[in-house]
Amino acid sequence: MVTVFNAQGTPSSININTLDLKGIVGETNSIVAIGSYFDKFSIETRFFSPNGTSLNNLTFPVKFGVSRSAVSSNGKFIALVDGNKFITLYDPNGREIRTIEFDGSGHIQSLSVSNSGEVVIFSSDEYGSQVFLYGKEGKIAFNKNFEPTQGIARISPDGNRIAIALNDFKSFTSRVIFLDRKGNEIWNKDLWEEGTKEGDIGDVGISYDGNYLLYASFNENVTIFDEIGEEIGKFELNNTIIDVPKKVLHLSVSEMGDRLFVSTDDSKLYYLDNSANVKKKFPILANSIDYDLNNELFDYIRERGLEPVHVKPSAIENYKHEKSILILGGPEAPEGIGEIVTQILMYNEQNEIRARGSKKTFNKTNVWMKEQNVTLIAGSTREDTKKAVLEYMDQLEL
């Protein structure tokens, strides 16, 4: 029996015989996945609605024995570590997508998969630990070495951020490190805590685009950080109306950061309301090139109390209800931005952006919904787009 608590702390029950409990909040808070081992050579993943209604069950046979499992937040990838050597990805129908042969050293301690099928592995032996990122085709994108022998690594659903939690009792280390998809460090924090369980790490979790990072210690605290490493909230589960859990095993956070899912080793899932810690979002539709070039824009937006959110074209359906949206890039912009721009701008407006050296901004209303304001800033090249952003960003309706 698994007890699931909703955002108000009201319990409901799910009948499931489990040895490995993971709650995954889906892209729109509508899908909850629970992975569980039933015996050594098979694993079942169950999908539920947030109120506990069963949606789908999948059972996978394995050859050498499952040691780790992971489910992407969109439910499209289910990853299993078979015999500490092979990582196999399956689709929601149970069909095998690909198998990655792990060529690192030591034992795989954690496994995480993005919504595009990228895989992050944390492994360790007596000499230290390694973090591997495997790309969409199963090839190593990077690996990094660390001295501590215990830890966890997670990848954000959009694949752009990686969180690593390390702990080592010999060196009194308990640290969270935040990386980009190339392995570059964004920030790191020393989180060593004094006490009887000092330094223990339960899990880390990342929101869809890396704007929120969760960290759970084994003292039943769940701490929420923003994208620059500032602590913005904390849940002390042993001080809530919920029964005191034994220890936190797994964390998940919804796409917008407003819902947390915490599983504990006494077979309980906590579905928690985190909306009080969520900053108001300002969605920015952009390709990876234009987004990475415009840090001044993000600082400008944050100074006005909003949190910029990178929206990829593949995720635009989730943001069409927003009152304000900013688009960076013109009709020739790659990664799907150009196709969207050509649907919004008139042909003569598109040609204005194409003109050499141009820097343009356009405001459109009622694009995807009534009373919606869509601002587009673009130039004829990526450099001109950056110049246009600096010239026009103070005209944004924030």
Token reading at 350: 């598109």
Burial class (CB in 10 A: 0-12, 13-18, 19+), 302: middle
Same domain, 230 and 330: no
On whether the CB atoms of residues 37 and 82 are closer than 8 A, the answer is: no
- Per-residue pLDDT at 360: 94
Residue 290 lies in domain: 280-395
The CA-CA-CA angle for residues 373, 206, 16, to 5°, reads 115
Number of domains in the chain: 2
Strands 86-90 and 78-82: antiparallel
Based on the fold, state whether residues 118 and 224 are members of the same structural domain: yes
- Same domain, yes or no: 61 and 26: yes
Q: What is the pLDDT of residue 387?
A: 94
pTM of the model: 0.68
CATH number at residue 373: 3.30.379.10
Are 371 and 390 contained in the same domain? yes
Q: How far is CA 101 from CA 68, 89, 117, 386, in A?
A: 14, 12, 15, 42
Q: Read off the pLDDT of residues 326-377 as tens digits, 9 standing for 90 and up.
A: 999 999 999 999 999 999 999 999 999 999 999 999 999 999 988 899 999 9
CB 22 within 8 A of CB 250: yes
Report the alpha-carbon distance of residue 356 to residue 359 in Å, rounded: 9
- Asked if 36 and 20 count as a contact pair (C-beta separation under 8 A), the reply is yes
Quick one: 120 and 18 in the same domain?
Answer: yes
Residues 132, 211, single domain; the answer is yes
Last residue of a domain, one of 251, 276, 301: 276
Q: Are residues 178 and 293 in the same domain?
A: no
Which tokens go with 58? Answer: 């999948």
Comparing CA positions, the residue from 259, 247, 169 lying closest to residue 207 is 259
pLDDT of 397 over the 50 cut: yes
- Same domain for 251 and 341? no
Same domain? For 239 and 354 the reply is: no
Q: What are phi and psi of 338, to 5 degrees?
A: -55, -40
Among 276, 305, 338, identify where a domain stops.
276
Shared domain check, 386 and 327 = yes
Convert the pLDDT of each residue in 130-172 to its tens digit. 999 999 989 999 999 998 888 899 998 889 899 998 887 666 6
Output the six-digit token pair for 162: 């990686």
Closest residue by Cα to residue 21 from 249, 270, 271? 249
Res 106: pLDDT: 85
State the sign of the Cα–Cα–Cα–Cα dihedral 61, 64, 69, 74: negative
Same domain, 240 and 140: yes
| pLDDT above 50 (res 197) | no
CATH code, domain carrying 51: 2.130.10.10
What is the biggest distance separating any 2 CA atoms in the chain, rounded to whole angstroms? 69
Same domain, 76 and 218: yes
Given this model, what pLDDT does residue 32 score? 55
Q: Which of 239, 257, 276 is the last residue of a domain?
A: 276
